[in-house]
């Protein structure tokens, strides 16, 4: 738009405006920055470039006779108005960049920690423990806390559910406290204009982030709850019928290969997305969508959890199929099928750690 001062002075011969399209190109480039200092350096250079070009255009208009000579006092008013327009655009884009980085920095409450704690609570409820370890009988079988009825199991599971939800709430509380402190520090590090923009978006941002974390935690909780039911209700004595240890190992390797192959493409996609942010592009180049990377991360997390759940179910299904064929006369193995399931769990945890590492690189 034409400035107020320009309209007053030059009704039908408006003063040229700053090139906002060029400025947006510089801000696009700044959005690739990995640090706040880099962002400021690029954006402020863009602001200086746009204002310098505006000054050149203004001089050209005057020299060509399209504009009369502008008094210095009035010219400074117009110049200030244009700088304010650029400042507003800069503050808005800086706010978006800061919020995007904030989301990347605080999108996890510890996936691996949550799963480990849920499994520790499950073992404490389900098995006889001593000094933090599961006790085993003379034949090497894990000693389970006896239950005399289905209602007794449901009561046990309900207690585990309550503890699991308390753990999840505690992790969310820890995230909420840390994120709130970090946001206050962020708001205190910027100018008043940017601070007001940040604070105006805080509540919606935190609500969306907490909702996303809660959904991710719920998915992990449901998977571990399903595992609890399987472990508690299956025939644990059959885990001793493992004379075909090689068969269990081979089938585990087959299932792992299939699962990890399915997950590889997603991890490769996330890694490639990170590598694309290493170089800062020139003005006019295509802006990498950081929000799209975060959405891809959440999709790969959900997809991966489902694949690992299917892998665990496949191991249990194949074990039961083998038991039906094995009969009671086979020599008891040394927990081959139990080891197979533990292998699946260990690989799942390694995948969670790798995925969380990728998320941290995305910060």
Q: pLDDT per residue over 179-233, tens digit each?
A: 999 999 999 999 999 999 999 999 999 999 999 889 888 988 988 888 888 887 6
DSSP 136: B
> Within this chain, do residues 30 and 133 fall inside the same structural domain, yes or no?
no
CA separation, residue 353 to residues 108, 111, 214, 272, 356 (Å): 12, 8, 19, 18, 5
Considering 233, 264, 282, which residue would you say is the last residue of a domain? Answer: 233
Considering 209, 233, 257, which residue would you say is the last residue of a domain? Answer: 233
Total count of domains within the chain:
3
Task: Supply 210's token pair.
Answer: 């907490």
What is the reported pLDDT for 53?
Answer: 93
**For residues 144 and 137, what is the distance between their CA atoms, to the nearest angstrom?**
10
pLDDT at 2 exceeding the cut of 50: no
Please indicate whether residue 200 or residue 285 has the higher confidence score (pLDDT): 200
Band of residue 239 on the pLDDT scale cut at 50, 70, 90: very low
As a whole number, mean pLDDT of residues 276-282 equals 48
pLDDT at 262 exceeding the cut of 60: yes
101 in a structural domain? no
As a whole number, mean pLDDT of residues 112-124 equals 89
Band of residue 158 on the pLDDT scale cut at 50, 70, 90: very high
**For residues 122 and 119, what is the distance between their CA atoms, to the nearest angstrom?**
5
Considering 62, 77, 96, which residue would you say is the last residue of a domain? Answer: 96
Domain that residue 220 falls in: 106-233
**Helices in 11-110 by DSSP H: which ranges?**
20-30, 36-63, 72-105
What is the reported pLDDT for 29?
Answer: 95
Q: Which residue has the tokens 């906002």?
A: 20
Residues above pLDDT 90, as percent of the chain:
29
Q: Which residue has the tokens 């910027």?
A: 190
281 in a structural domain? yes
pTM of the complete model beyond 0.75: no
> Within this chain, do residues 148 and 261 fall inside the same structural domain, yes or no?
no
276 in a structural domain? yes
Band of residue 360 on the pLDDT scale cut at 50, 70, 90: low
């Amino acid at each position: 738009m034409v400035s107020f001062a320009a309209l007053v002075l030059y009704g039908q011969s408006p003063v040229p405006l700053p090139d906002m399209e060029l400025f947006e190109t510089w801000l696009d480039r700044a959005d690739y920055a990995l640090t706040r200092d880099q962002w400021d350096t690029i954006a402020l250079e863009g602001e200086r470039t746009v204002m310098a070009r505006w000054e050149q255009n203004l001089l050209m208009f005057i020299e060509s006779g399209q504009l009369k000579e502008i008094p210095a006092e009035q010219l400074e008013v117009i110049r200030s108005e244009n700088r304010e327009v650029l400042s507003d655009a800069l503050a808005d884009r800086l706010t978006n960049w800061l919020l995007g980085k904030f989301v990347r920095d605080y999108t996890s409450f510890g996936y691996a920690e949550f799963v480990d704690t849920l499994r520790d609570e499950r073992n404490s409820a389900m098995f006889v423990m001593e000094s933090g370890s599961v006790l085993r009988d003379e034949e090497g079988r894990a000693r389970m806390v006896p239950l005399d009825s289905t209602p007794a199991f449901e009561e046990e599971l309900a207690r585990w559910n309550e503890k699991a939800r308390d753990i999840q709430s505690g992790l969310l509380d820890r995230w909420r406290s840390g994120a709130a402190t970090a946001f206050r520090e962020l708001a205190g590090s910027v100018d008043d204009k940017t601070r007001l923009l940040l604070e105006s978006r805080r509540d919606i941002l935190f609500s969306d982030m907490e909702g996303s974390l809660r959904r991710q935690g719920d998915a992990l909780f449901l998977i571990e709850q399903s595992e609890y039911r399987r472990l508690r209700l299956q025939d644990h004595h059959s885990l001793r019928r493992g004379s075909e240890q090689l068969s269990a190992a081979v089938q585990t390797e087959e299932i792992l290969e299939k699962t990890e192959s399915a997950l590889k493409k997603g991890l490769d996609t996330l890694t490639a997305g990170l590598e694309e942010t290493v170089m800062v592009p020139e003005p006019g180049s295509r802006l990498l969508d950081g929000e799209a990377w975060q959405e891809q991360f959440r999709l790969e997390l959900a997809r991966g959890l489902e694949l690992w759940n299917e892998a665990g179910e496949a191991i249990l299904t194949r074990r039961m199929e083998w038991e039906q064929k094995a009969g009671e006369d086979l020599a008891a193995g040394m927990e081959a099928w139990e080891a197979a399931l533990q292998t699946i769990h260990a690989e799942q945890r390694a995948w969670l750690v790798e995925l969380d590492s990728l998320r941290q690189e995305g910060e």
